[in-house]
Amino acid sequence: MLRLTSAATLQTCGGTTRRDFLQAGALGALGFSLAQYQAAEAAGKVDPSKSKRSCIMIFNLGAPSQLDTWDMKPDAPAEIRGPFKPIATNVSGIQLSEILPKHAQIADKFALVRSCFHRGAAVHDAGWQIMQTGRQFTGGINTPHAGSTAAYLLGRRSDLPPHVVLPEPMGRGGGNLPNGQAGGFLGKAYDPFALMADPSQKDFKVPDLLPPDNIGEARLNRRQRMRSIVEEQVKKFESSEAARMMDENFQSAYRLMTSTQARQAFDLSAEPVEVRERYGMNRFGQCCLLARRLIEAGVRFVTINAFLTVFDEITWDIHGSKPFTSIEGMKNIVAPMYDQAYSALIEDLHQRGLLDDTLVCNLAEFGRTPKVNPAGGRDHWPQCFTVYFAGGGVRGGQVVGASDPIGAVPADRPVEPPNVVATIFHSLGLDLETILPGPSGRPFPIVDNGFREISELFA
């Protein structure tokens, strides 16, 4: 993740030198090179009509049960349908679980895709990487997160980083695999900025980033002198990749540390108490509120991890017995928290006029087994699950695809991870034929050949 002291690799186009980059002026401040922008513009890789678009990716770490949330099977046998009843929503013909009553009130704002599946292993971190990047990592090639690709192609538009992950990157998943929340082969310069703090805590501040309110002129002068020293050192070997890397990483961190705009965006105390309580005074709820503030401040892409690991905390990972979550834990703790925060986010974006230009996608690493296990829970199941989208040009109040009568496999309109990532890129105005400079400089398409966006969402 982007840290002041971290090393990072800057990807540039056409061998751009450090001096050329700085001479690009405003483009340099936005976080991408003149050559990079001109190449993208000339090739028509960015749709200018979607230049205001942003994305919030909510990743439901642990994997919700599709049969107990968004794709219920009330006519199936008891061991399939589970303990919950379906309820009507504000859209005729669409039902959801009784444990998501606030979702039911805003069903006209989001679109369900009930036919998602992937071919990866039924292991949490394998699913994390494939759902966030569109690819399973093979041959030592780590594909960049969708937000990192968007940051590379679209750059900054404020003092804040183009991609932020809240509250911090995913932890252990049990498979000891990369989790997909990084810049991958684009380099560490395109890792997301990680908050590394719980915004629901009373003394919440962004560690090691935002200077305290009483920083004073003397400390600012010391920072400026430190920057000058670094500049002098860089000039001595500015043709080297290490120098370019240091300069870009330092400037990015320095801009963030000294930015009034950044300080204000992260300041949740500026929100009325009733707004904070509307989202829920818990980690996930306050991350959703912070995501809205970051989008308002110009961040292009925010990834929210609903949980950080499937170990040592209650999550969507409802195997039914300790140390995992029971169905009762999902009903009484996980679902209410999640239902409140998501509905508040969507309503808030809508009321502020931001939803049309903000895609909110809710993903997970897989679904859960159609049959309830002996412990009363459900196990891992990548063969079929539900993802959903709101805003960003998506037509809400619809269902795309369908699962079979027991929620085991897609029965109509199968959707794979590359389709999900393509949908995000399409909403952001990126051409799906765009080629990235992959490992060893070889061409690398942003989406696997033949995969397109889920077009029905935008009809």
206 pLDDT band, cuts 50/70/90, is confident
Residue 173 sits in a domain of what CATH number? 3.40.720.10
Which of 224, 257, 290 marks a domain boundary? 257
Of the candidates 234, 166, 227, 172, the residue with the CA atom closest to the CA atom of residue 200 = 166
Which of 201, 235, 257 marks a domain boundary? 257
Q: Which two tokens stand for residue 443?
A: 């061409």
pLDDT tens column, 442-455: 999 999 999 999 99
Which of 257, 288, 323 marks a domain boundary? 257
What are the residues whose beta carbons fall under 8 Å from the beta carbon of 121, sequence distance 6 or more? 127, 175, 382
24 pLDDT band, cuts 50/70/90, is very low
For residues 192 and 316, membership in a common domain is answered with yes
| Strands, E assignment, 306-449 | 358-363, 367-368, 380-381, 385-390, 398-400, 402-403, 410-412, 435-437, 443-445
Question: Total structural domains in the chain?
Answer: 2
Q: Is residue 383 part of a domain?
A: yes
Strand, helix or coil at 185?
A: helix
Q: Centre a 10 Å sphere on the Cβ of residue 95 and count the other Cβ atoms it contains.
A: 17
Q: Is the pLDDT of residue 398 over 70?
A: yes
- 180-to-33, 69, 126, 268, 421 alpha-carbon distances in Å: 25, 25, 9, 28, 13
Can you spell out the DSSP letters for 216-248? HHHHHHHHHHHHHHHHHHHHHTTTSHHHHHHHH
For residues 386 and 398, membership in a common domain is answered with yes
* Contact between residue 28 and residue 291 where contact means Cβ atoms under 8 Å apart: no
Provide the terminal-to-terminal Cα distance of the chain, rounded to the nearest Å. 37
For residues 166 and 113, membership in a common domain is answered with yes
Q: Which two tokens stand for residue 370?
A: 């159609």
Cα separation, 26 vs 45, in Å, equals: 20
- The pLDDT value recorded for residue 249 is 59
Q: Which two tokens stand for residue 273?
A: 């108490």
Q: Is residue 111 part of a domain?
A: yes
Q: Is the pLDDT of residue 26 over 80?
A: no
pLDDT > 70 in the chain, percent: 80
Dihedral angle sign, alpha carbons of residues 399, 304, 434, 298: positive
- The pLDDT value recorded for residue 7 is 35
For residues 197 and 87, membership in a common domain is answered with yes
Q: Is residue 2 part of a domain?
A: no
Average pLDDT of 316-331?
94
Q: How many residues does the chain have?
A: 459
Average pLDDT of 357-379?
97
For residues 225 and 335, membership in a common domain is answered with no
Strand, helix or coil at 301?
A: strand
Question: What is the domain extent for residue 230?
Answer: 212-257
Cα separation, 360 vs 422, in Å, equals: 14
**Angle subtended at Cα 193 by Cα 187 and Cα 196, rounded to the nearest 5 degrees:** 130
For residues 363 and 381, membership in a common domain is answered with yes
Q: Is residue 31 part of a domain?
A: no
Q: Is residue 42 part of a domain?
A: no
| Amino acid residing at 245 | M
For residues 132 and 119, membership in a common domain is answered with yes
For residues 379 and 430, membership in a common domain is answered with yes
For residues 288 and 203, membership in a common domain is answered with yes
pLDDT tens column, 71-115: 999 999 999 999 999 999 999 999 999 999 999 999 999 999 999
For residues 120 and 222, membership in a common domain is answered with no
Average pLDDT of 285-289?
98
Of 97-101, 130-134, 171-175, 401-405, the poorest mean pLDDT is in 171-175
Q: Is 242 exposed, middle or buried (0-12, 13-18, 19+ CB in 10 A)?
A: exposed
Q: Is residue 25 part of a domain?
A: no
**Angle subtended at Cα 300 by Cα 298 and Cα 305, rounded to the nearest 5 degrees:** 115
The pTM of the full predicted model, rounded to 2 decimals, is 0.85
For residues 165 and 280, membership in a common domain is answered with yes
For residues 340 and 452, membership in a common domain is answered with yes
Cα separation, 279 vs 338, in Å, equals: 9
Cα separation, 128 vs 143, in Å, equals: 12
* Contact between residue 62 and residue 315 where contact means Cβ atoms under 8 Å apart: yes
Q: Is the pLDDT of residue 335 over 90?
A: yes
Q: Is residue 3 part of a domain?
A: no
- The pLDDT value recorded for residue 28 is 38
Average pLDDT of 177-200?
96
Cα separation, 205 vs 312, in Å, equals: 24
Q: Which two tokens stand for residue 119?
A: 């071919």
Q: Is residue 431 part of a domain?
A: yes
